[in-house]
Structure 1
């Protein structure tokens, strides 16, 4: 159920704004080739109303009036076809309202139009006061790595952090690194590694409050996801994304942490999470979506 829209429907999303480190020639691994991999996306959030049979009766989008009309239609039409695992509380089926954070992706097609699709969703609410959740105690942000800063390398690192029962970080892994600058493929790989190593090193010094209630409280460790943005210029302290606006980047591959054997929600995606939160990756991660994100 992908949709196509004309170039004017993505005003401001054209990829000319991405800084380029190297003058390109159209050869394998060149900047020109990397440019062809660029995609644009936005995070869309709201609330999903789930009935006792797991169907969706309503979708309320945050600031719907600021979103492109085609995006609103695609998200709403898809959401109304979703079916969740029925929610049970105290042995009874109940209706529920779940928060939604969804990444909408646009790719440029031949002829200048764009294909817009959905990729990755989270139904988890970030609540630092919930005793069933992992919450931050001390999370000093990473310093910008000098090599990346000098080169103008920017992007987002999506970390999976393994938190032990003492609240200290036992391990950390970069599940995905999206870069918001253009360079040769070899430089893209290099700076993904630079930003990932920097974020992991910072994460290993963090401390957390661990769950004290609920089914997850007895676990030997907890997995949490933490998005980190490396940005420069005005507004860098406010995060890389503005709600309702497209952001262009070169998406990195999604990888699995070596200690993680399963993912409860196959439609979950690290880059569907908004910056500024600590998100449980196992348990307390929201209702389970049973149907495809975009239907048949």
Structure 2
């Protein structure tokens, strides 16, 4: 575990000549947690009950037992087709969070669950089948890795929320949440490091473009996408496996909503800990828990 101290932050500011306003305003301090992602699929019955589920991620017996106890209790708003309730199957991504509650004691909860196709192929196929616009990211340069963080070996991630123009350019960009991985230090230093990653990601995203298919200009204006930007010194294979089926230490900031967000119960809630590198979430989902408070209970 790397240590990031306030003195390191002072050195950054001196070396980079950072002035007030060069990084996004810090909007709340982060928290230290352990997270783990678990992939699977879920079948919902006509009454909104969990009819079947399968977890593809290999888990330890204790985690498997926790989820086997929790998932069957979930209740969903029934899925309807032509006005009638139907059985429905969906991919599922569970994010677990563990918080320290004592000396070497942790409380485990389900932090979030996503019921959306996350691979590029599955997501685009689902959007086309539903008659929705399909947004595909063009080949883009990766945001600049802040040199001061790279030299210190600090890795992290930023979850961006983008709103697209009809021509596929980015109308608005907002950093919804950011995390640092496997690093400890003063909150001031850690929050400053998050702000540096957020600035790097948002600056780059303003120049991105997308190819948009299957949409009128009016529909395209409503497209927004959630995209993770990973800053890692690992190889591609290691990045893909990081946090899947194993605990990962994060210093994670609060999740914030962009100013253009509309009240929409069908919009999936996505956090920085929920997505792998290269994944993207867009649009709404018909899969809705009746009561999301079941996700915040200790397992």
TM-score range relative to shorter protein: 0.7 to 0.9
1:160 and 2:161 matched: yes
Distance 1:234 1:244 in 2: 18
Distance 2:267 2:222 in 1: 21
Distance 1:23 1:178 in 2: 18
1:149 and 2:150 matched: yes
Distance 2:231 2:237 in 1: 8
- Tell me the residue number matched to 1:261: 262
Structure 1 residues 242 and 40: CA distance shift in structure 2, 3 A: closer
Distance 1:234 1:166 in 2: 34
- Tell me the residue number matched to 1:20: 3
Distance 2:286 2:137 in 1: 19
Distance 1:23 1:175 in 2: 25
- Quote the offset at 1:213 in angstroms: 5.8
1:55 and 2:38 matched: no
Structure 1 residues 267 and 81: CA distance shift in structure 2, 3 A: farther
Structure 1 residues 213 and 82: CA distance shift in structure 2, 3 A: farther
- CA RMSD across the alignment: 2.7
- Quote the offset at 1:79 in angstroms: 1.8
CA shift digits 1:80-108 (9 cap, x unpaired): 11121211223332111111111101122
Distance 1:81 1:252 in 2: 30
Structure 1 residues 57 and 277: CA distance shift in structure 2, 3 A: same
- Quote the offset at 1:267 in angstroms: 7.5
- Quote the offset at 1:124 in angstroms: 0.6
CA contact (8 A) 2:31 2:253 kept: no
Spell out the pairing of 1:194-233 with structure 2 (5 A cutoff).
Answer: 194-212=196-214, 218-233=219-234
- Quote the offset at 1:183 in angstroms: 2.5
Distance 1:183 1:265 in 2: 38
Spell out the pairing of 1:1-296 with structure 2 (5 A cutoff).
Answer: 18-22=1-5, 37-63=31-57, 66-126=58-118, 127-129=123-125, 130-131=127-128, 132=132, 133-180=134-181, 181-212=183-214, 218-233=219-234, 238-239=239-240, 241-264=242-265, 268-270=269-271, 271-280=273-282, 282-283=283-284, 285-294=285-294
Unaligned runs of 5+ in 2: 8-29
CA contact (8 A) 2:164 2:220 kept: no
Distance 1:50 1:217 in 2: 33
CA contact (8 A) 1:155 1:178 kept: yes
Unaligned runs of 5+ in 1: 1-17, 25-35
- Tell me the residue number matched to 2:18: none
CA contact (8 A) 1:103 1:119 kept: yes
Distance 2:187 2:193 in 1: 10
- Quote the offset at 1:234 in angstroms: 5.1
Q: TM-score, structure 2 length as denominator? A: 0.78
- Quote the offset at 1:143 in angstroms: 2.5
Distance 2:33 2:155 in 1: 15
CA contact (8 A) 2:165 2:220 kept: no
